[in-house]
Amino acid sequence: MESSEDLEVRALVQGSHRGPKDLVLTTDRRRPTPGAGEYLIRVGAAGVNFADVMQTHGTYRGGPRAPYVAGFEAAGEIVGVGPDVKDPLPVGTHVIGAGRGAFAQYMTMPAAGALRVPSGWSDAQALGLVLNWATALAALKPLGEVKAGEVVLVHAAAGGVGQAAVRLARHYGARVIATASPAKHDTVKALGADEVVDGRRPDLAAEITRLTGGVDVVLESVGQATFEASLSVAKPFTGRVVVFGAASGDATLTTADLVFTHHAQVKGLHIGALAAAAPALYQSLLVEIEALIAQGVYPPGNPHVHPLEEGPTVLQDLETGQTQGKHALDPWR
């Protein structure tokens, strides 16, 4: 356990529900104390996710209410162990996981969901393992049931989950159609996408249908702006639409839509809920990810790492679609 000095830590605090512009860097937050079943983590790198943007607006269901220390994904060093942790990892072990208050120098993290940072990887390189890659894998395999030779449509393919999904779908032998803004097309093509189209084009459904004749699996994270197109291009009855985000706002789907218009299989995914409700399935995803790392399919991440004080700007850029790939904050910079 570290000494008791420097109990005041740097953190980004969200003081309202008016968006990331109201994130404020503070230097007088008390270092948290690990509760039952928790580790105390010295944060090496904190991941930035669209859920963070939603939380700053108070629109993320079950998210924290202002004021709160922002962020929930981090990798770092275990420096303390709370009571009732079963088979705890040794102090000094570097882990990746999720918990409240990640945009800070120290946070607490549920021990049950903490995984060792892969050998030889930095904390920043491990970001995305338990969120982005696990979400992409869950969407493609247990929910999407992807098979070699099938067609997969990945929306927002330049983002953290999207890039992982393109790599994974190609690994499993699928043909990949991706959507991204034109400035990001080269990035997505380099990941192995067979076709990349502008997700904002007005004839999106028609263009995807022209390219594919119908899609077997759709990974839908954009919401309102693409949801109708996703349902339209999915193959009748056999097509699977896996919904795990709504970056452009909520979309609506009625029973009449499903009975008379869109006959796809629609499946919802929240990786945290899956971990809690189906722990055996979640653990199988993590085992699969370890195999993907060993095979070189899942390489060390290369996030854009920013000083903690740049967090508000990074979240605003993410909100307006100005980012590519994974972004992270270093609370010690």
What's the total number of domains in the chain? Answer: 2
Per DSSP (E only), the strands in the chain are 8-14, 23-30, 38-48, 68-69, 73-81, 94-98, 106-110, 115-116, 151-154, 175-179, 195-197, 217-220, 240-243, 265-268, 304-307, 327-330
In a domain, 234, yes or no: yes
Q: Do residues 172 and 264 share a domain?
A: yes
- What is the pLDDT at residue 30? 94
- Residue 246 and residue 200 share a domain: yes
pTM given for the model: 0.91
Please write the tens of the pLDDT for every residue from 208-241: 999 999 999 999 999 999 999 999 999 999 999 9
| 213's tokens | 């004749």
Shared domain check, 169 and 120:
no
Same-domain status, 245 and 306: no
Residue range(s) defining the domain that contains residue 42: 8-128+301-330
Same domain, 99 and 142: no
Report if residue 280 sits inside a domain: no
Residue 223 lies in a domain: yes
Residue ranges, the chain, pLDDT below 70? 1-6
Residues 6+ apart with CB under 8 A from 27: 8, 9, 10
Q: Of the candidates 258, 180, 275, which has an alpha carbon nearest to the alpha carbon of residue 219?
A: 180
Give the pLDDT score at 7: 81
